[in-house]
Amino acid sequence: MPDSNQVYLRIENLTKHFGEFVAVSDLSLEINSGEFICFLGPSGCGKTTLLRAIAGLDPQTAGRINQAGKDISDLPVSERDFGIVFQSYALFPNLTVYQNVAYGLENQRLPRQEIHKRVTDLLELVGLPEQIEKYPAQLSGGQQQRVALSRALATSPGLLLLDEPLSALDARVRSSLRLEIRALHQNLGITTILVTHDQEEALSMADRIVVMDQGRIEQVGTPIEIYSNPASPFVADFIGVMNFIHGEVTSPGLVSIEENTLKCNTENIPEKNNVRVTIRPEDILCHSELIESPNTLEVKVKSLEFLGSFYRLFISGPTGFEELMADLSIKQVHEQNITPESTLNIELPPNRLLIFPEIS
Amino acid sequence: MSGTVSLPANVVPVRIRLSRDDVILRIGLYCLITLLAIAVVFPLYTLLSKSLEDIDGKYVGLQNFREYFETPALFSSITNSLTVAISVALIVLVIAFVYGYALTRTRMPLRWLFRGIALIPILAPSLLAAISLIYWFGNQGVLRSWLGESSIYGPIGIIIGSCFWVFPHALMIIVTALSTADARLYEAAEALRTPKWRIFFTVTLPGAKYGILSAGFIVFTLVITDFGVPKVIGGRYNVLATDVYKQVVGQQNFEMGAVVSLILLLPAVLAFIADRWVQRRQIALLSPHAVPFQPKSHPLRDGILFVFCLIVSIILISMLAMAVYASFVTFWPYNLSLSLKNYNFDVMDGGGWEAYFNSIRMAIYCAVFGSGLIFFGSYLVEKARGVTWLRTILHLGAMLPLAVPGLVLGIAYIFFFNHPENPLGFLYGTMGILVICTIVHFYTVSHLTCLTALKQLDPEFEAVSLSLKSPVWRTFGKVTLPVCLPAFLDVASYLFLNAMTTVSAVVFLYSPETMLASVAVLNMDDAGDIAPAAAMALMIVYTSAVFRVLHALLARFINNRTQVWRTR
């Protein structure tokens, strides 16, 4: 965790229009020095637009950006301080790995030996010291992305921007590179922004995640906060898997779902209000026999989906509970001998239920 | 973009300061737009206004057009031109499609050789085909009897001659269209037990449809705007292109020349618009996941197509061969002994050997300056940041020349550059104006070639370079140009070959000091020196062929040097 809480990048009321389309709408955000931040959201949510505005590649329509105490809002790209890595790697195809990494250093007119040392050090750091004289087309996708990363870091920028850097790679390379980027960040302490639509990537890499939708920030928080305490139904649905149950607050602490009643924290939602009660599939408890706990229901198993390390059960209960998912360990499924058509008793622990007012 | 969302009143929109690179690129955009305005738009405007004036320069409205349509001798050229152009388009499309099909979709032997032979006409000015036809079927021609009562001087000659020189243009487009076939479609059709003929009509033909249409428009435009062939072999059969020449050069009636060239401009512009429309639809057809089609052997089909290609090739070669033979014959048809007498250009009217060397000089200037300018222009269109409207204007300016026939461009240049008040008038009659006119005439195809190459570059190269604080010219020189070098050389070669063979635009613009080989061919033919004309036309062919070989060697050398980073 970065210890510095100094604000490195401050975005104030940033707005970006593309003709009639509002890509980013009045967005404000502060990023601390040395933080690893993920912009996470579905495609078209404005996360890449925001990144490109920070870089100056697609300047914002309005709003200010302050980097390291300096207002950079109207600076051209070449006068800003950042390194960038794209999904397409964007390595210069006619230059060798060495020449690609040295490209930015040569612009600084550094002495030859210094450039050589920096390039070899960086390629050492990303584990590619042998590939120095190869051309990008001769490298694998993962290797190319490492070269792109070295090239972006070569000039020691104050800010590293990663635009979906892992999306073009296959799953195995992706997860190893995820760890490497994270370790690199830990090593160098460079303030980093990663744009991704992959929640797993964001949850595993970020210090803080900025969840975006329709050009606005839905929630900013640590991965744990975002996952366990989503601020909106959108975040709840977008991060991880979530069950939604529609009901009405009848009295403080009670929500009625058709003929059943659930005990939960109704927060400040007044009575008679329609709400959505949510619970993660792994928080649903399954029992073979009837137990004396609040929020228990009898349900039928519709189908099972085997997902490697666990089973996902598609279950159907009384009215209002027709479409639920519950994740169970392989062991439990076998011990309780759960098959399609099995009948189960499930428990929805009140402290695991989150409730959101229904948007009319 | 029609509407925009407006910001709340109290919000100040952000304007990014311009970097030095932005300023340089913007200046570049303004310069090129100005150049194209001077070299294309202003001359065309002058042409338009000239058509509305009388001899003394007084505005007379549509008087000249009225006169044109009241003169049947002039008016009939429209029908003649359309007849010839449409006939040639239909004939060439059928032959080029079968020939192209044989080259791309069969395992017929010697496909590489047939492909090479089909490109021969590109090396020659269009006049050569007509001259050769005179030796084959003219009044003293070897095969005069084959034509019976009819004469080669007229529509027959124009059609055959035009078919010869436009054939490679149509073939190249059709071959491209046929080579982009997706093998998966054929596998799917065969898996559904579709008969061969049905696959042809439901998969092959629709796949090549836009290519065929496009080839048709190109051929139509080339023929209707060409004046080499009808000038030499048209006899008394008038077409629009020869009318422009006669009005301007023969009768010095510039106003009527302007009227005829505007009428000539119309079908060319229509064909251009139709072609653009077709091209736009074609893009949607191509899928990046297509699997290349590998034709299977089919002895009967391959055999029939082999015979067909053989016949076409023999005709193509015999056109060239007759010209070669005739150029060495001492005095056709009375003294058939071979000599170099016809190559002794200096004793003949038509500019002599100097014309030949002028042509080479002009072609080199066009290749060197033209390719540089055009590549830079397409770079600005594709890569300059912001200023979308400036880039759009430059792109439209670069597309315009394709719609303007060479003759029209040439006559527009007379009006514009010869105008007493034009400060650029000093260019008139110099090598400079010939180079400018030729570069402009062939600008669009070169521009599109460069654009295609540039579009294949990762659009983020510029973003990365900027983040690495690399000045724009460094990335241009170290990455953009090297990666696009093959396309750059193609453009230089295209400009060289066309500068060697073109007649239509420059025929109005040369002076005694800047006589060109292709114009010399025309003039010598006009003076009745047909054999020397053939000889000069062949000098162009020899030069172009040598140049093609040099270009191929250079391209191979560069490919070998760069293949390390191209191949995986």
Taking the C-alpha atoms of residue A352 and residue A280, their distance in angstroms, rounded to an integer, is: 8
- Is the pLDDT at B146 greater than 90, yes or no? no
Minimal CA separation from A285 to chain B, in Å: 47
Closest CA of chain B from A92, distance in Å: 7
Pairing of strands A191-196, A36-40: parallel
Contacts of B482 in chain A (CB under 8 A): 94
Q: Are A316 and A300 in contact (CB under 8 A)?
A: yes
Burial class (CB in 10 A: 0-12, 13-18, 19+), B151: middle
pLDDT tier at A2 (50, 70, 90 boundaries)?
Answer: very low
C-alpha closest to that of B518 among B531, B501, B530: B501
Looking up tokens 């965790």 gives A1
Is there a contact between A86 and B460 if contact means CB atoms under 8 Å apart?
A: yes
Structure tokens at B306: 């082999």
Backbone angles phi, psi at A299, to 5 degrees: -135, 165
d(CA B396, nearest CA chain A) in Å: 22
State the amino acid at position B223 in one-letter form: V
pLDDT score at A280 = 95
Contact A254, A263 (CB under 8 A): yes
- Best-predicted range by mean pLDDT among B69-73, B185-189, B210-214, B494-498? B494-498
Distance CA B562, CA B565 (A): 6
B252, B257, B258, B264: CA torsion to nearest 10:
-160
Strand segments (E) across chain A: 7-18, 21-32, 36-40, 62-67, 70-71, 83-86, 159-163, 191-196, 208-213, 216-221, 243-251, 254-257, 260-263, 274-279, 285-287, 296-306, 310-316, 324-329, 343-347, 354-357
Residues A352/A323, Cβ–Cβ less than 8 Å: no
What count of CB pairs under 8 Å joins A to B?
124
Contact B293, B183 (CB under 8 A): yes
> Closest-CA residue in chain A for B559?
A94
Cβ separation of A78 and B19 shorter than 8 Å?
yes
Within 10 Å of residue A111's Cβ, how many Cβ atoms? Answer: 9
- Predicted confidence at residue B398, as pLDDT, reads 93
Chain A nearest CA to B374, separation (Å): 22
| Contact yes or no for A57 and B22 at CB 8 A | no
Both structure tokens of B511 = 């002076």
Best to test chain A binding among B464, B473, B566 (most A CBs inside 10 Å): B464
* Cis previous bond, A318, omega within 30: no
- A24 contact residues in B (CB cutoff 8 A): none
SS (H, E, C) B293-331: CCCCCCHHHHHHHHHHHHHHHHHHHHHHHHHHHHHHEEE
Pick the range with the lowest mean pLDDT from B287-291, B322-326, B479-483: B287-291
Q: Answer yes or no: do B470 and A103 touch at CB < 8 A.
A: yes
Candidates A51, A45, A44; CA nearest to A29 is A51
Confidence of residue B4 (pLDDT cuts 50, 70, 90): low
Contact A59 B461 (CB under 8 A): no
pLDDT in tens, B216-245: 998 999 999 888 899 999 888 999 988 888
Q: Does residue B388 sit in helix, strand or coil?
A: helix
d(CA B437, CA B443) in angstroms, rounded, equals 10
**pLDDT for res B544:** 94
B453 vs A contacts (CB less than 8 Å): none
Percent of chain B with pLDDT over 90: 47
Which sign does the torsion angle of CA A71, A76, A78, A84 carry?
positive
Average pLDDT, chain A: 92
The model's pLDDT over A91-130, given as tens digits with 9 standing for 90+, comes to 998 899 999 999 999 988 889 999 999 999 999 988 888 8
Note whether B478 contacts A95, CB cutoff 8 Å. yes
Q: In what order do the strands lie in the sheet with A191-196?
A: A83-86, A159-163, A191-196, A36-40, A208-213, A216-221
Looking at the predicted structure, is the pLDDT value of residue B567 above 70? no
Nearest to A137 among B14, B461, B566 (CB): B566
Q: Do A107 and B461 touch (CB under 8 A)?
A: no
Give the torsion through C-alpha atoms of B340, B341, B343, B344, to 10 deg. Answer: 130
How many distinct helices (H) and strands (E) make up chain A? 9, 20
Find the helix packing angle between B72-105 and B205-225, rounded to 10°. Answer: 140
Tokens of residue B355, six digits: 């014309």
Contact call for B4 and A20, based on CB within 8 A: yes
Q: A261 forms bridges with which residues in the sheet?
A: A256
* Token pair in block for residue B151: 């004469």
In angstroms, what separates the C-alpha of A110 from chain B's closest C-alpha? Answer: 13
- Residue A174's contacts (CB-CB under 8 Å, 6 or more residues apart) are A166, A201
**Contacts B461 to A, Cβ<8 Å:** 90, 92
Sign of CA dihedral B370, B376, B377, B381: positive
CA distance A202 to chain B (A): 24
Check CB contact under 8 Å for B5 and A22.
Answer: yes
What's the pLDDT tens digit per position in A145-201?
999 999 999 999 999 999 999 988 888 899 999 999 999 999 999 999 999 999 999
B467 contacts A83? CB cut-off 8 A? yes
> What whole-number distance in Å separates Cα of residue B50 and Cα of residue B197?
55
- pLDDT 10s digits, B438-447: 999 999 999 9
Q: Pick from A74, A104, A155: which is nearest to B16 by CB?
A: A74
Contact A225, A245 (CB under 8 A): no
CA A61-A64-A66 angle, 5° bins: 140
What 8-state DSSP symbol labels residue A80? S
Could you give the CA distance from residue B464 to residue A15 in angstroms, rounded to a whole number? Answer: 24
B473 → chain A, closest CA residue: A107
- Name which residue leads in pLDDT, B282 or B358: B358
CA distance A197 to chain B (A): 20
- For chain B, how many residues are written? 568
Q: Which residue of B has its CA nearest to A102?
A: B468
- Which helix (H) or strand (E) segment holds residue B337: the answer is strand B335-338
- DSSP 8-class letter at A79: G
Closest residue of A to B1, CA-based? A19
Element (H, E) at B382: helix B371-383
Residue to mutate among A11, A94, A106, A145, with most B CBs inside 10 A, is: A94
Strands A21-32 and A7-18: antiparallel
Taking the CA atoms of residue B295, residue B299, residue B304 and residue B309 in that order, the dihedral angle to the nearest 10 degrees is 50
Task: Supply A201's token pair.
Answer: 């990537």
Decide if A107 and B5 are in contact by the 8 Å CB cutoff.
no
How many angstroms away from the CA of A80 is the closest CA of chain B? 7
Residues of chain B contacting A, Cβ within 8 Å: 1-5, 7, 11-19, 21-22, 458, 460-461, 463-471, 474, 478-479, 482-483, 562, 564-568
A137 neighbourhood in chain B, CB within 8 Å: 565-568
Question: Among A48-62, A274-288, B5-19, B83-97, whose mean pLDDT is lowest?
Answer: B5-19
**Residues ≥6 apart with Cβ < 8 Å to B389:** none
As a whole number, mean pLDDT of residues B121-150 equals: 88
Measured between beta carbons, the chain A residues lying within 8 angstroms of B567 are: 137
- Contacts B468 to A, Cβ<8 Å: 83, 103-104, 107, 151, 154-155
Chain B nearest C-alpha distance from A117 (Å):
18
Distances (CA, A) of B161 to A310, A353, B119, B230, B558: 77, 85, 15, 9, 37
Quote the tokens at residue A256. 């009625």
| Chain A residues within 8 A of B24 when measuring between CB atoms | none
Q: Is the pTM of this model over 0.90?
A: no
Contact A137 B565 (CB under 8 A): yes
Tell me the mean pLDDT in the region B325-344. Answer: 85
Q: What is the rounded average pLDDT for all residues in chain B?
A: 88
Cβ contact (<8 Å) for B479 and A92?
yes
- Tell me the longest C-alpha to C-alpha distance in chain B: 94
Give the number of C-alpha atoms closer than 13 A to the C-alpha of residue B191, restricted to the C-beta side. Answer: 6
Spatial contact of B19 and A76, defined as CB atoms under 8 Å apart: yes
Option in B14, B17, B471 nearest A61 (CB): B14
- How far off is chain A from B438, nearest CA to CA, in Å? 33
* Contact yes or no for B21 and A13 at CB 8 A: no
CB contact under 8 A, B4 and A17: yes
Using a CB-CB distance cutoff of 8 angstroms, which residues of chain B are in contact with residue A155? 468-469
Q: Hey, are the CB atoms on B469 and A136 less than 8 Å from each other?
A: no
Q: How far is CA B192 from the centre of its chain?
A: 43
pLDDT band at residue B282, thresholds of 50, 70 and 90?
low
Query: Residue B100: enclosing H or E segment and its boundaries?
Result: helix B72-105
Amino acid at A205: M
Q: How far apart are CA B325 and CA B142, in angstroms?
A: 12
The pLDDT value given to residue A65:
96
pLDDT tens digits for range A57-95 = 999 999 999 999 999 999 999 899 999 999 988 999 889
| pLDDT single digits (tens) B199-212 | 888 888 888 888 89
Alpha-carbon torsion (B86, B87, B90, B91), positive or negative: negative
**Chain A residues near residue B11 by CB distance under 8 angstroms:** 13, 15, 62
Nearest CA in chain A to B481: A94
DSSP 3-state of B486:
helix
- N- to C-terminal Cα separation, chain A: 41
Structure confidence by residue, pLDDT tens digits, B394-445: 999 999 998 888 889 999 999 999 888 889 888 888 999 999 999 999 999 9
